[in-house]
Amino acid sequence: MFRRLAFALAVAPIGLAGLAAPAAIAAPGDLDRVSAHLQAVNSLTADFSQTDRAGKVLTGTLTIKRPGKIRFQYQKGIPLLIVGDGKALTMIDYQVNQVQRWPIGKSPLAVLLDPAKNLAGVAKIVPSADDRIVVVEARDPKHPEFGVLTLAFVRNPSAPGGLMLQGWVALDAQNNRTTIRLSNQKFNMAVPESAFQWRDPRPKARGH
């Protein structure tokens, strides 16, 4: 079950619920503000909580270093790790000694990890009833199988580009929903390359 939750976190289609209710009007220029925020973020560290539709909650720490690098470090006792090395996302399951990799470009997380990503072609602002919240829905129209990423930001003048990423929700093809919420966000801190290394649990394989 934990492995399914982790997989949904990184690669499932995304849709955000609970942070903002739909409204009739979206603020003009918000997509440009989101782009400006992403361009201004070189690194991000945060605590995360991950909740599936059954209410199962996992916690951990998130580390992002752009371009392309990310690490989901789960709480003690959860034998899973997700690491992006700039080219691929790798999910390591230490319970069964399995490793799975897929291109970052085929993950909705590419919107967060690729500073060269043109949001105009893949994203739109979702109207919100709370003008403090900016909700962005991103999808690749040429590859619907890659999923949909809906990100929630709170307007915060002290954050890069005036926005603070609050989280997202994964909704996979089987209608399994996984909510990600962030807290204790810190931007543009020094992050060592060692943060994106991992131990390969497979027999006869060299560790990373």
Encode pLDDT of 47-59 as tens digits.
Answer: 999 987 788 899 9
Structural domain count of the chain: 1
What residues in the chain have per-residue pLDDT under 70?
Answer: 1-28, 115-116, 145-146, 170-176, 205-208
Residue 122 counted as domain residue:
yes
Q: Is residue 103 part of a domain?
A: yes
Answer yes or no: is 208 within a domain: no
Residue 102's pLDDT is 85
Residue 95's CATH number: 2.50.20.10
Q: Which domain range does residue 33 map to?
A: 2-193
- Residue 182 and residue 2: Cα distance in Å, rounded? 19
Torsion sign over Cα 173, 73, 207, 192: positive
What pLDDT sits at residue 21? 45
* Residue 34 located in a structural domain: yes
Predicted pLDDT at 176: 66
Q: Is residue 200 assigned to a domain?
A: no
pTM of this prediction exceeds 0.85: no
Length of the chain: 208
